[in-house]
Amino acid sequence: MNNTDLLAEKLDFTYKKEESLGDFKNMLATCVNYWYVFVAGIIISLICAFFYIQYLPIQWNVLGKIIVDDDKTSTSKSLTSGLNSDLASLFDMKSNASNEVKVLKSRGLLKQVVVNLKSNIHIYQKRFIGKTELFDNSPFIAITSYKKEPVMTDRLVVRILNNSQYQLTDDEQDIQLKGDFGRPLTLPGYSLTLNKTPYFNIAKRDYLIKIESIKQSATDLENRLNVSIDDKQSTVINLQLSAGNPAGGEKTMQMLMKVYLQNNLSNKVRIADSTMKFIDTRLVVVGGELNRVEKNLEVYKKENKISDITAQSKALVEGATQYQNKLNDNEVQLAVANDLYKYVNNENNNQVIPSSLITKDIAFGSAINAYNEMLLHKEQLKLSLVEGSTYIQNLNQQIDLARQTLLTSLRNYRNSLQVSQSAFRKQNSLIEDKISNAPTKERLYLDYSRQQSLKQELYLFLLQKREETAISQTATISSCRILDDAESSDAPFAPKKSLIYSLALFAGLLAPAAGLSIKEMLNVRINSKADIIKHTDVPLLGEISRNPNKKKNLIYNDARSVIAEEIRALRTNLKYVTEKGKSNVILFTSSMSGEGKSFISLNLGNSIALSGKKVVLLELDLRKPRLLKNMGIVANYGFTNYVADGEGNIDSLIQPSTFNENFYFISSGPIPPNPAEILMGDHLKILIDELKTKFDYVIIDSAPVGLVSDALIIEDFADVTCYVVRQNYTYKSQLGIVNDLYKTKKAKRLYMVVNDIEIQKNSITGYGYGFDNYGYDNVPNPSKLTTAYNKLKVSLK
């Protein structure tokens, strides 16, 4: 078993790279060390969240429900069930709930709501942060009078000066005016009047008035309105409106449902009004014709002195009654068909067509109903679309196509009536042949009677339809009704305080963690044990804490200090890597000056000497010797003098220490011009061999190997090489030097010693222990909080 394996076995060292675990533990330890940063981050983030919540406007949910009645529940149909079913179909068109959802969000409907409520004017009260929208409790109301519809949004700041005056400021237009309550104030494009309300309070002075265009307010209302249907089988429409004021939201929602129901009812009333107007027009025309026929019959009877029909004429008339009735009915339908054809053929007449006048052709009545539905659909689309839109134009084409189809159907219907009329006349002519021998007066009398009967039946038919229309018009109600009135939620739904505070708490933890992580990533110096493990495989021989007294380079016989105990631990570890029973040469080097190799070599030598071993410390940093100088030791004769004399006395080089009888020094002497050449000579080997016969340990303090090659020259004579690195001083990239020495075997028995460890920060994991329980005076008695904190840190090691 070699020395390295023995060291690993005795000290439980490991050469496995646990980089991920090491990084995590190091980061966790760093977070614990900087706990106050996390506390500050949480406090700051929660304060920011508080102010953010204060800045955000409070939002309430306002809910309402509308139910759309289908054909089976239509009230108008139930009232007209005894009348003609075709006429009732004009007022009982099935309402499609999906279409009604679109109507409820149409621009035209929303603009009506905005105009009715004047909700394009908003009044806010300024707060320390943000603002609060006022509604019924506003200290004043704003009335505007425009010369034309505004297209821009004005934000006016109102400051109440006294009970009668206010100051108005518009920063965008650079306007600052004084106005009187109750009097108009002229502004660019409009005038503004502020009228006080019972809530007027001069103590609360600063307010904000936001004036929008009707179009913009309708768009805002559309964005805040959500309309949905419960399910496919249901005709219940759910309305949800987000509002900054619960009372204002309820009023807006209620007005929306009210305007919607009014518009729905007005569409049905228009159909009835159009039918009534058509029937009244036809009654005037047919009534005039009936009056003329009756007058002609009266004149004829007077002129021919006819008072009764002879029994023979009566018999003939009764024989012709059957065909005459059919002919009369045929002529009535033909007259109605001709009137409808003229009515439909009029392209400027975009009114609905009554389908109930032709009762014998059900298919034609259905075509008229479809045509009427397209006209009504076009009227609804005009509320949200312009006349020239592509959708309206396509619908106009469909309406024209439907009109041409109706005209074609009417022509076919008239042709069939005319064919039937010819057949009836032919049959009637046969009967007339039988009565051809009747007196001419009686024949003319029958002709007048037929004309009177035709006009009278047509007139009575129109009167009946007018009465049915009047009854249906009176019974017409909206196909929709309010199921639930507008009602606001018990609590606002925004801002979501719990979510914001949770995110703020998370950010308060994440931001410091990210900052510390970035700080660690940007740190190019060795900061933790994980840095050493990550960059090199060299075994770690010892760790030395930071010297609290920078002026005290030698830790004398102070057995109660932390550093003294760590030097003892290094001394103990050194026993496992050196050979027993012989003198061992220990070389100390580093990457650069200032890493503490001289400090460690001095104190290690003193510690070994305290154990009864004879130790000599050889100062071979020939380029920058400072070890004995810092100790205050003046040496007139040193190594370079020894080399210069050629065969100098070795005993004259050795100087005893004043603090330990087993500890000796050899100075480097004056700085030579060629240190490397001096070290490569035979004098160094002779000196070391001689010293090994006199001392148990020869400790060499050499120059940094990262700067010059002096240490590599001396390494040939060393039994153990200790490479010193310093926390927060040695660069991580410099670990490549020691790693290269270790892998290429340029240095025998190479080990690392970490110096200047800050125990309180716990940067090098595995340290941070206290010595209070064992009588060491470097760590004071901690408080309970500090003890808990230290235990937490130790648990992370």
Tell me the two tokens of residue 382. 């005009």
Residues 296 and 396 in one domain: yes
Q: What digits encode the pLDDT tens for the residues 12-21?
A: 344 444 455 5
Block residue for tokens 């036809």: 282
Q: Lowest-pLDDT range, 8-22, 39-53, 194-208, 381-395?
A: 8-22
Q: Lowest-pLDDT range, 84-93, 112-121, 141-150, 197-206?
A: 84-93
Bond preceding residue 495 cis, omega within 30 of 0? yes
Residue 119 belongs to a domain: yes
Residues 78 and 221 in one domain: yes
In a 3-state reduction of DSSP, which class is residue 155? strand
Residues 11 and 99 in one domain: no
Of 263, 293, 318, the domain-final residue: 263
In a 3-state reduction of DSSP, which class is residue 695? coil
Closest CA to 209 of 280, 156, 161: 156
Residues 12 and 65 in one domain: no
Residues 67 and 95 in one domain: yes
In a 3-state reduction of DSSP, which class is residue 71? helix
Residues 231 and 276 in one domain: no
Q: Lowest-pLDDT range, 335-339, 552-556, 772-776?
A: 772-776
Of 263, 286, 304, the domain-final residue: 263
Residues 13 and 75 in one domain: no
Residue 384 belongs to a domain: yes
Closest CA to 752 of 553, 532, 552: 532
CA–CA distance, 567 with 596 (Å, rounded to integer): 13
Residue 29 belongs to a domain: no
Residue 343 belongs to a domain: yes
pLDDT of residue 711: 82
Element housing 468 (H / E): helix 440-475
Residue 27 belongs to a domain: no
pLDDT of residue 551: 65
Of 199, 232, 263, the domain-final residue: 263
More confident residue, 581 or 19: 581
Task: Decide if pLDDT at 773 tops 50.
Answer: no
CA–CA distance, 765 with 759 (Å, rounded to integer): 9
**AA letter at 282:** R
Q: What digits encode the pLDDT tens for the residues 115-160?
A: 898 888 888 888 777 788 888 888 899 988 887 776 677 888 999 8
This prediction's pTM: 0.56
pLDDT of residue 7: 45
pLDDT of residue 91: 38
Provide, rounded to the nearest whole percent, the portion of the chain with pLDDT above 90: 17
Name, in order, each residue with C-beta under 8 angstroms of 662's C-beta and a sequence gap of 6 or more: 609, 610, 612, 613, 614, 615
Q: What digits encode the pLDDT tens for the residues 361-410?
A: 666 777 777 878 888 877 777 777 777 788 778 888 888 888 888 888 88
- Contact at 8 Å (CB) between 575 and 584? no
| CA 6 from centre of chain | 61
Residues 651 and 545 in one domain: yes
CA–CA distance, 599 with 461 (Å, rounded to integer): 127
Instruction: Count other Cβ atoms within 10 Å, centred on residue 96.
Output: 13
Task: Decide if pLDDT at 554 tops 60.
Answer: yes
pLDDT of residue 615: 94
Find the domain containing 50 and state its range: 34-56+495-520
CA–CA distance, 687 with 667 (Å, rounded to integer): 13
Task: Decide if pLDDT at 48 tops 90.
Answer: yes
Residues 447 and 543 in one domain: no
- In this prediction, residues 504-515 reach a mean pLDDT of 92
Distance between terminal CA atoms of the chain?
30
Residues 774 and 755 in one domain: yes
Write the DSSP string, 308-331.
---HHHHHHHHHHHHHHHHHHHHH
> Residue 704's domain is classified under what CATH number?
3.40.50.300
Residue 490 belongs to a domain: no
- In this prediction, residues 646-650 reach a mean pLDDT of 72
DSSP state of 124: E
Residues 609 and 632 in one domain: yes
Residue 453 belongs to a domain: yes
Tell me the two tokens of residue 601. 């070599």
Residue 607 belongs to a domain: yes
Tell me the two tokens of residue 270. 């228009």
Q: What digits encode the pLDDT tens for the residues 750-760?
A: 999 999 888 65
Element housing 667 (H / E): none
Calculate the dihedral angle through the C-alpha atoms of 396, 401, 406, 407, rounding to the nearest 10 degrees.
Answer: 110
CA–CA distance, 63 with 225 (Å, rounded to integer): 10
Name, in order, each residue with C-beta under 8 angstroms of 125's C-beta and a sequence gap of 6 or more: 131, 132, 134, 204, 206, 207, 208
> Strand 236-243's sheet: what is its strand order?
225-229, 236-243, 60-68, 480-488
Residues 442 and 405 in one domain: yes
Query: Taking all residues of the chain, what is their mean pLDDT, rounded to a whole number?
Result: 79
Q: How many domains does the chain contain in total?
A: 4
Q: What digits encode the pLDDT tens for the residues 253-272?
A: 999 999 999 888 887 777 77
